Each structure stands twice: as structure tokens, then as C-alpha cells.
Chains A and B, each alone.
Chain A
Amino acid sequence: EDQVTQSPEALRLQEGESSSLNCSYTVSGLRGLFWYRQDPGKGPEFLFTLYSAGEEKEKERLKATLTKKESFLHITAPKPEDSATYLCAVQAQSSGTYKYIFGTGTRLKVLA
């Protein structure tokens, strides 16, 4: 069964304390892996798409990497405004179509 697992479920960091969020997946026919940020009461905001193992993408303090079994979202010197839930999704082929499967997210709190 296709599955996406994110860890940790919640993470508290001091401002400036770098860390990584993990997204491990078990899917057949992987087309891409996606990272989103979701603020309370809002829809997910697109961050990155990764397609192949070894690929890396960066945006400001965030860097996403991909291996054959997992992806990491590295947060360097985070600020309080980085506090949000970070969602990982994989797009997998299923019955002739492509479906997003989401993890349950990592709730990040950055303290000033």
C-alpha cells in the first residue's frame, strides 16, 4: 500500500536553531515529491517539487532533498515566521491516473 510518513509530528526550535524534517515514502510509480507549507486556517502553499533521487531545491532558509526512500526539508537558522505545518506529498501512479498521497505533516514552532 502506498504510504507517506512524516516525522517528527511536532518540533519546537529556538530562533536560529537549524533542523531537518523527514518524509519517508513507500509508493509504486513515483512521479514526484512535493513539499507544502500550511498556516492555520489556510490552504497548503506550494514550496518545492522533487522528481529524482539526488535532486535538491532551495528557497530562502529552506532546502529540500530527495533519496529513493525519503525526503528531507532542512531549515537553516529559522525565524518565528517559519512556524507552520509542513506537508509532504508524493504523486504516484494508480489505476491509470496520478494521485497525491499526503503525510500528516510536521508542526513546526520557532520561538523568538
Chain B
Amino acid sequence: NAGVMQNPRHLVRRRGQEARLRCSPMKGHSHVYWYRQLPEEGLKFMVYLQKENIIDESGMPKERFSAEFPKEGPSILRIQQVVRGDSAAYFCASSPGLAEETQYFGPGTRLLVL
């Protein structure tokens, strides 16, 4: 049973470009969470999605960041007009649903903004 998959694993962008990070949850999981991790800091919650629904986006910056989890295909975290401060590791996690709270994490995407 494949785990949570994220791609790309590494992404380099110049300031002002767009970054698209993809996450495929574990088989049978319908809940997806995105986190950001900066060096020497903990994982910070960004957004929680179910298929075609954003449940909680309280951790998302108000501008330039968006997320979706379409009916078909992976969840996408999109960062428009990237700035150097967006450089971080972005992790996706999935869970089956509220009845089973444990979240399982993917390997992450390391974004570097030049």
C-alpha cells in the first residue's frame, strides 16, 4: 500500500514565479493537510481539505497561496509570485477521516526561491 506521495521533491523557482506542489494521499484517505516547515521550527499547519472542499484554511497566508483537492487527481498547493521567504519544506499529510485522527506524512517538497 503506497504511502503519501509528493512531487516534486525539490523545486527551485526565481522570485515572482509560480510554484505548484502536488500531493497524492494514501489509498482510502479522503482528508489532506498541508504544513510548512522552516529550519529549526516546527511544522506549521496551513490548510485542511477534503475532496472538493476546503475545511480549514486558517494557517494559509491571505495572499498568493491557494490549495485545492479536486474530485479526481492530487491535491495542489499553489504559491503565486514566490518570494525568498517562501523557501521552506512543504509537507502533505493524509488521514482516513475524523474517526481516525492519525495523519500520515509524505516525504515533502523542498522549495528554494532564488
Contact = CB atoms under 8 A, between A and B. Distances in A.
Contact of B43 (A32, A41, A44): A44
Contacts of A44: 43, 91, 105
A45 interface: yes
Interface stretch (A14-22, A56-64, A70-78, A98-106): A98-106
Max chain A C-beta neighbours (<10 A), residue from B33, B55, B103, B104: B103
B101 A31 contact: yes
A25 interface: no
Interface residues of A, number: 26
A54 interface: no
B52 interface: no
A97 B31 CA distance: 12
Interface in A33-47: 34, 36, 41-46
A44 B40 CA distance: 15
A91 B58 CA distance: 15
B105 A100 contact: no
A45 B43 contact: no
Given A42-B107, A97-B56, A91 B101 contact: yes
Given A42-B107, A43-B91, A102 B43 contact: yes
Interface string B90-111: 0100000010011111111010
Contact of B42 (A43, A46, A103): A103
A41 B45 CA distance: 19
